[in-house]
Amino acid sequence: MDWLAFSLSLQLAAWTTIVLIPIAVVVARVIAWRRFAAKGFIEALVALPLVLPPTVLGYYMLTVFSKNSLLGGAYQSLFNQSLAFSFEGLLLASLVINIPFAIQPMQRAFEAMPGELREAAWCSGLSRWQTFLRIEFPLAWTGILTAAVLTFAHTLGEFGVVLMVGGNIPGETKTIAIAIYDRVQAFDDRQAATMSALLLMFSFVAIGVIYFVNDRFKQRFH
């Protein structure tokens, strides 16, 4: 049981969720409520990581992270370490991969809210921020929770991209999914089985939480 890899996976999942969710809230709200010409285009962009194989994403990450690229070079000069093969690089890749998991559930939740509710709040004297806190958030929180849990669980299981750009460094980029793969390659079935069972249980609980919460919440208003 590679606890270091498991702890690394948890950290990656936690950081991805913490960073991505607030950004996704803002973006999801805009997409849900503003009418603008490029809306379909933006929605397609958001959905793109869902349909691209991890190898495509991995390839682009490698290109973008390399010292010769704009981003990679800038990072190198700022922090004096390479973006590729680092936890930060993995985090960045993870943020990109999880965009649809974070944005789409929230977007649905915001879209399900009639626009007139916000207008009624404004006309009742609530500022935009108060409207978000007291009206929008309580009505959309299941969407936000779903987004958070999905992002967390999906990052825990992320394999293809990590395999391609991580470098398999223990404590830095060797996540539990990679650890399982290595154990399988080395014919260490016992370890592989233990770690797989743990990951399976974790993911099942996470998904179970989403469905349970969504179910209970739905009952309240009907």
Partner 1 sequence: MQNARSDPSKPARFWLALILPMWVVFAIPVFAADKPLIAVASSLNGVIGPISQGFALHTGQQVRVSFGASGSLTRQIVQGAPFELFLSADKSYVDILIDNGLAATSSEIYATGRLVLFVPDNSPLPGNPALAELPSALEDGRLQRLAIANPEHAPYGRAARDALQFLGLWQTIQGKLLFGENVAQAAQFTTSGADAGIVSLSIAQDLASSGQGTYILLPESWHQPLHHYMVLLSPAGKVARAFYDYLKQSGAQQIFRKFGFSTPTPSQ
Partner 2 sequence: MQAKHGLRVHLEQAAPIPLNVSFDCRPGELVALVGPSGSGKSTVLRCIAGLNTPTEGLVACNGDEWLNTDRGLNQPPQKRAIGIVFQSYALFPHLSALENVTVAMQHVASDQRKTRALQLLRTVNLDGLDKRRPHQLSGGQRQRVALARALAREPSALLLDEPFSSVDQATRRKLQRELAGLRGSMAHPIILVTHDVEEACLLADRVCILYRGQSLDIGSPTKILNSPRHKLAANLVGLTNVFRGKIIAHQAERNITLLSWLDYELETRHCSRFAAGSTVDWVIPPQHILLHQRVRPSRGERENPVHGSIDELVVLGEAASVTLMVDDSSDATMTFNLPMHVVQRNQLKVRDNISVSLRTEGIHLMPPGVENG
Write out the residues near partner 2 by the rule CB under 8 A.
114, 116-117, 119-127, 134-135, 138-139, 220-222
Query: Is the Cβ of residue 42 or residue 113 nearer to partner 2 in the bound state?
Result: 113
The region of 62-70, 113-121, 197-205, 208-216 touching partner 1 under the rule CB under 8 A is 62-70
Query: Is the Cβ of residue 83 or residue 135 nearer to partner 1 in the bound state?
Result: 83
| DSSP letter string, 24-74 | HHHHHHHHHH---TTHHHHHHHHHHHHHS-HHHHHHHHHHHHSTTSHHHHH
Query: Is the Cβ of residue 81 or residue 130 nearer to partner 2 in the bound state?
Result: 130
Q: Which residues of 192-201 are buried (b: 16+ CB within 10 A; e: fewer)?
A: beebbeebee
Q: How far is the CB of 108 from partner 2 (least distance, A)?
A: 17
The region of 80-88, 109-117, 125-133, 150-158 touching partner 1 under the rule CB under 8 A is 80-88
Q: Rule CB under 8 A: choose which of 7, 81, 127, 130 binds partner 1.
A: 81
Q: Rule CB under 8 A: choose which of 168, 194, 196, 214 binds partner 1.
A: 168
- Nearest 5°: the CA angle 27, 70, 154 is 45
Reading the block at residue 22, the tokens are 């607030």
The region of 17-25, 78-86, 90-98, 111-119 touching partner 1 under the rule CB under 8 A is 78-86
The sign of the CA dihedral 166, 171, 172, 175 is positive
Nearest CA to 8 among 207, 195, 211? 195
Q: How far is the CB of 97 from partner 1 (least distance, A)?
A: 19
Query: Is the Cβ of residue 65 or residue 101 nearer to partner 1 in the bound state?
Result: 65
Regarding 214 and contact with partner 1 (CB under 8 A), the answer is no
Q: CA-CA distance, 86 to 161, in Å (whole number)?
A: 13
Q: How far is the CB of 201 from partner 1 (least distance, A)?
A: 24
Q: How far is the CB of 128 from partner 2 (least distance, A)?
A: 8
| DSSP letter string, 169-202 | -TTTT--HHHHHHHHHHTT-HHHHHHHHHHHHHH
Q: CA-CA distance, 10 to 171, in Å (whole number)?
A: 12
Site of interaction with partner 1 (CB under 8 A):
62, 65-68, 72, 81-82, 84-85, 163, 167-169, 174, 181-187
